[in-house]
Chains A and B, each alone.
Chain A
Amino acid sequence: AQSVTQPDIHITVSEGASLELRCNYSYGATPYLFWYVQSPGQGLQLLLKYFSGDTLVQGIKGFEAEFKRSQSSFNLRKPSVHWSDAAEYFCAVGPAFSGGYNKLIFGAGTRLAVHP
């Protein structure tokens, strides 16, 4: 079955420290992979996506992610965290076939807190 696992429910880092959020997936072929960010009470914003090609992808707000096929992972990284990065982060994989339709499967999310 297709699935996405974000092993860390909460992560706390100090401002200026580096960040890595983990994402593991289960998928039968090479998936499309996405990272989204959600501030409290807001919708989700796309940070970056991987479809094919270079396995290191750059996104907005200084984020990057690396696709590792051998580890079925797509971890999100940022070299220096800012207080404004405090939010919830969702990893997603697709397309997932269900009843003849394609959809994305989302992980449960990782909540990031940033200490000053």
Chain B
Amino acid sequence: DGGITQSPKYLFRKEGQNVTLSCEQNLNHDAMYWYRQDPGQGLRLIYYSQIVNDFQKGDIAEGYSVSREKKESFPLTVTSAQKNPTAFYLCASSMDRGYEQYFGPGTRLTVT
């Protein structure tokens, strides 16, 4: 079955550590996205990528980094520079620009 996988579902880290969240899709989609979701808030775009080896900052990119070496993969690194990293992180992909996005199940990151 085609879809988007995110791993792990729950992630715990100590403050000051970098952590990488995985996102893989087998939908053959060109575009991929990372969102952050906090309780009672909507989705905020962190980074997005339209093609391999190219990505663009979203609305809240500070403290995050990404790579897009393969079409299927778009990992997100939450660095120690991110002041409030505890959140629910969602990865999505779409066939083309502006089309409907398909979402993974999310990763809940807790930093203490």
Enumerate chain A interface residues (CB-CB to B < 8 A).
Answer: 32, 34, 36, 41-46, 49, 90, 92, 94-96, 98-104, 106-109
Q: Is the CB of B105 within 8 A of A43?
A: yes
Interface string of B87-112 (1 = CB under 8 A from A): 01010100001111111111010000
Q: Is the CB of B43 within 8 A of A41?
A: no
- Measured between beta carbons, the chain A residues less than 8 angstroms from B102 are 46
Known: A90-B43, A92-B101, A96-B98. 4 other contacts (CB 8 A): A32-B98, A44-B90, A46-B102, A106-B43
Q: Is the CB of A44 within 8 A of B42?
A: no
Most chain A beta carbons < 10 A, residue from B88, B92, B97: B97
Most chain A beta carbons < 10 A, residue from B4, B43, B99: B43
Q: Is the CB of B90 within 8 A of A101?
A: no
Query: Which chain A residue has the least Cβ–Cβ distance from B99?
Result: A32
Please give the number of chain B residues whose Cβ is less than 8 angstroms from any Cβ of chain A in the complex.
Answer: 26
Q: Is the CB of B103 within 8 A of A95?
A: no
Q: Among A32, A43, A94, A100, which residue has its beta carbon within 8 angstroms of that of B103?
A: A43
Q: Is the CB of A108 within 8 A of B41?
A: yes
Enumerate chain B interface residues (CB-CB to A < 8 A).
Answer: 4, 6, 33, 41-43, 45, 48, 50, 56-58, 88, 90, 92, 97-106, 108
- Measured between beta carbons, the chain A residues less than 8 angstroms from B97 are 95, 101-103
For chains A and B in complex, what number of residue pairs have CB atoms within 8 angstroms? 60
- Measured between beta carbons, the chain B residues less than 8 angstroms from A44 are 43, 90, 92, 101, 103
Most chain B beta carbons < 10 A, residue from A44, A107, A108: A44
Q: Is the CB of B42 within 8 A of A109?
A: yes
How far is B99's CA from A32's CA once the two chains are assembled, in angstroms? 8
How far is B97's CA from A104's CA once the two chains are assembled, in angstroms? 9
Assuming the contacts A43-B103, A101-B50, asked whether A107 and B42 have C-beta atoms less than 8 A apart, the reply is yes
Q: Is the CB of B100 within 8 A of A101?
A: no
